[in-house]
Amino acid sequence: MTPPAERGTGTRLADDARSGSRRALSRLLTAIESRTPVAEEALRLLYPQAGGAHVVGITGPPGGGKSTLVAALVAEARRGQRAVAVLAIDPSSPVTGGAILGDRIRMQQYAVDDAVFIRSMASRGHLGGLAAATAGSAAVLDACGFDLVFIETVGTGQSEVEVAAIADTTIVVQAPEMGDEVQAMKAGLLEVADLVVVNKADRPGADRAAAQLRSMLSLGEVDDALDAARPRPKRPRVLLASGLDGSGVPELLRALDAHDTARRRDDRPHAARIARARAQIEGILADRTRDALWSARRRSETDALVERVAAHELDPYAAVDLLRLSL
Amino acid sequence: MTPPAERGTGTRLADDARSGSRRALSRLLTAIESRTPVAEEALRLLYPQAGGAHVVGITGPPGGGKSTLVAALVAEARRGQRAVAVLAIDPSSPVTGGAILGDRIRMQQYAVDDAVFIRSMASRGHLGGLAAATAGSAAVLDACGFDLVFIETVGTGQSEVEVAAIADTTIVVQAPEMGDEVQAMKAGLLEVADLVVVNKADRPGADRAAAQLRSMLSLGEVDDALDAARPRPKRPRVLLASGLDGSGVPELLRALDAHDTARRRDDRPHAARIARARAQIEGILADRTRDALWSARRRSETDALVERVAAHELDPYAAVDLLRLSL
């Protein structure tokens, strides 16, 4: 239940964000990350207004130049007068997080452009709720009128790959010299790709890397273990681009648009939207479970049961039976 | 509810595993990993029998020689006639998984030793339930009479560090030449350490690395953001060892025993046992949520709600309200 004092804040932030207040939008995204009642109130209002944006996931091994490519895509989209938001999911490590922050500086040219909004989200501490928080944030940005929402994640962890997979269109980025990592990518990354980009196409070996990827993909070596139900082109297209000099970027944006158009032509909601809806519902249920366990009212009862399980006086299933949760 | 046909299998496997059948034990651990009703039945029986083992987590950056050190610890524990189990949590990548499998070969000498049991667990696909599955597996091994249960994880992801942190005693391992990674370790790894081991002590720089770590730890540079509530020695001890030639390994095992003795002297269950109990309860609730959503009886209702959310006809909170789950 939303406490009365909180009621209204979510509504006000939602209204202000929709009217173009970047400050309200930022506060709303913070609320969604921390899963407060304000976020629930705002999302209940904003969610029905969303659905128009094209949500694009960008992932790949570290060093592929994802941030630079995103910056180039943002510039290209702005040339077409489109409003663009970027959600950069930083890995938990402050070390790599710092490097990514460095890339963010490239984007500072947009500080005065109201049609560009850039936001970093911490992946640490979400404990499985990252997909839900990302989906909620994308819905807010969508409802606030952004045409394109880029979700940038480092494709190294299960949760990061999951996040990329809930986008309408998922781009997997790699650099030419990453030939040896193709094996690693097969493990989980290429499975979620709608488009594969060999970035840094100005470097030697880019054409060969693209050819290698194309032949691998055409041999059907990529299995669909992660997400067998998701319909996608049998073979993701492989494109060459350079985030640094911008070559191939207009073509990449056109390929994104084509994928989006094909998706919208379907009668039923696209499978990625289903995945996003599921992630949000499951995230809310997880929140409610946590609330039910650790709310002020239940906390001491839960603590007592946990202590009995820790002392092996009670098995954990019996403890759950005793809790009798309703969500 | 356990279907009638299944009833009995868990009980039989639990009995057989307790009587020393390694085949039954393996099947039980598989059931726990896949979270079947057999696992629930068996764990309800075995859990009260557990609590005697010392559960030791071993983590650290890749390349620190964790597997070799575990092998040396197993050998040392066997010299003391103790029964030892190893749960090796493989990272999701089949590439690195392969390398770890290579290390497993070192352990083949124990194929005919009934007091040593080695098991690999996939971290992929657990989606946050890894801590719960690991805690359940440790409880089964504990109930089956293993004195020491080693949980070996690569300290690169949030979930891997979490898993190491639910052990009674957590060892963080690094190699001497990893000085540069100290920064990275500070981010999350050292916070969970009860003991820090500079492994490969035969290599140059080991003493210097240990001194560096000791001075860093004594300066209190390690903050306890991850797990502030967990009581532990203010400064984890830093030890030198070599998994390869075995030097320092008897001292390490003695340090482990000392930590275990100190823990058992407490009146209340150790915080790590509380964390393990919580992980199991939360894992069971997550399973029941999934069952409640996707059981044959509920599935079509859930699917219909998810589709309405995906089409933005309904917000995800309203969908959850309509589900009215009882766990």
Interface of B with A in 24-43 (CB under 8 A): 40, 43
Higher pLDDT, A18 or A297: A18
- Where do the domains of chain A lie, and which CATH numbers do they carry? 1-49 (no CATH), 50-272 (3.40.50.300), 281-323 (no CATH)
Q: In the prediction, which pLDDT does A180 show?
A: 54
Instruction: Using CB atoms, pick whichever of A284, A316, A327 lies closest to residue B281.
Output: A316
Q: In the prediction, which pLDDT does B117 show?
A: 92
The runs of H, that is alpha helices, within chain B are 9-18, 22-34, 37-46, 66-79, 94-104, 130-143, 158-165, 182-186, 206-218, 249-265, 271-294, 299-310, 316-323
Express each pLDDT in A175-231 by its tens digit.
887 655 555 455 567 778 899 999 999 888 899 888 888 887 776 544 444 444 444
Question: Which of B96, B154, B158 would you mutate first to test chain A, the one with the most A CBs within 10 A?
Answer: B158
Q: Under DSSP, is residue A197 helix (H, G, I), strand (E, B) or coil?
A: strand
The verdict on B319 touching A (C-beta cutoff 8 Å) is yes
In the sheet that B195-198 helps form, which strands lie side by side, from edge to edge? B116-122, B84-90, B148-153, B54-59, B169-174, B195-198, B237-240
Contact yes or no for A54/A168 (Cβ under 8 A): yes
Instruction: Using CB atoms, pick whichever of B94, B281, B306 lies closest to residue A306.
Output: B281
Q: Does A310 contact B184 at a Cβ distance shorter than 8 Å?
A: no
Higher pLDDT, B38 or A155: B38
The verdict on A101 touching B (C-beta cutoff 8 Å) is no
In chain B, how many H helices and how many E strands?
13, 7
User: Could you tell me which chain B residue has the CA closest to the CA of A158?
Assistant: B124
Express each pLDDT in A89-109 by its tens digit.
865 444 334 444 444 555 667
Q: In the prediction, which pLDDT does B93 show?
A: 40
Q: In the prediction, which pLDDT does A302 show?
A: 94
Q: Please choose, from the candidates B177, B179, B176, B199, the residue with its C-alpha nearest in 3D space to the C-alpha of residue B59.
A: B199
Express each pLDDT in B29-78 by its tens digit.
999 988 888 999 999 999 999 999 999 999 888 888 888 899 999 999 99
pLDDT at B92 over 80: no
Of chain B, the percentage scoring pLDDT greater than 70 comes to 79
Contacts of B269 in chain A (CB under 8 A): 307, 310-311
pLDDT at B110 over 90: no
Of chain A, the percentage scoring pLDDT greater than 70 comes to 79
Question: Taking residues B78-101, what's their average pLDDT?
Answer: 70
Contact yes or no for A6/A42 (Cβ under 8 A): no
Q: Please choose, from the candidates A274, A275, A285, the residue with its C-alpha nearest in 3D space to the C-alpha of residue A40.
A: A285
Token representation of residue B289: 């949520």
The verdict on B294 touching A (C-beta cutoff 8 Å) is no
Question: Which of A280, A308, A313 would you mutate first to test chain B, the one with the most B CBs within 10 A?
Answer: A280
User: Could you tell me which chain B residue has the CA closest to the CA of A311?
Assistant: B269
**Residues forming beta bridges with residue B150, ordered by sequence position:** B56, B86
Question: Taking residues B164-177, what's their average pLDDT?
Answer: 86
**pTM of the full structure:** 0.72
Contacts of B281 in chain A (CB under 8 A): 293, 305-306, 309, 316, 319-320, 323
Contacts of B136 in chain A (CB under 8 A): 316
Lowest mean per-residue pLDDT among A73-87, B115-129, B271-285? B115-129
